[in-house]
Amino acid sequence: MSELPTLAVVGATGAVGTVMCELLSARKNVWGEIRLLASPRSAGKTIVVRGAELTVQPLTADAFDGVDVAMFDVPDEVSAEWAPIAASRGAVAVDNSGAFRMDPDVPLVVPEINPEQVRNRPKGIIANANCTTLAMIVAVAPLHHEYGLRELVCASYQAVSGAGKIGIDTLLDQIDRVSGDRVLGSRSGNVRQAVGDDLGPFPAPLALNVVPWAGSLKDGGWSSEELKMRNESRKILGLPDLKVSATCVRVPVVTGHSVPIHAVFGSEVDAEGAQEVLRHATGVILVDDPAAGEIPMPIDAVGTDPSWVGRIRRSLDDPRALDLFVTGDNLRKGAALNTAQIAELLAVEFTR
Q: Write out the catalytic residue numbers.
A: 131, 257
The Cβ of residue 223 has, within 10 Å, a number of other Cβ atoms equal to 18
Helix (H) or strand (E) holding 176: helix 165-178
Tell how strand 257-265 and strand 321-328 pair up.
antiparallel
Gap between the Cα atoms of 259 and 170, Å rounded: 23
Gap between the Cα atoms of 75 and 82, Å rounded: 11
Q: Which residues contact 199 (CB under 8 A, 6 or more apart)?
A: 170, 205
Rounded to the nearest 5°, which phi and psi values hold at 48?
-85, 120
The Cβ of residue 140 has, within 10 Å, a number of other Cβ atoms equal to 25
* 232-to-34, 105, 128, 215, 221 alpha-carbon distances in Å: 30, 14, 10, 15, 19
Gap between the Cα atoms of 268 and 265, Å rounded: 7
Residues 96 and 287 sit within 8 Å (Cβ to Cβ): no
Residues 167 and 255 sit within 8 Å (Cβ to Cβ): no
Residues 127 and 108 sit within 8 Å (Cβ to Cβ): yes
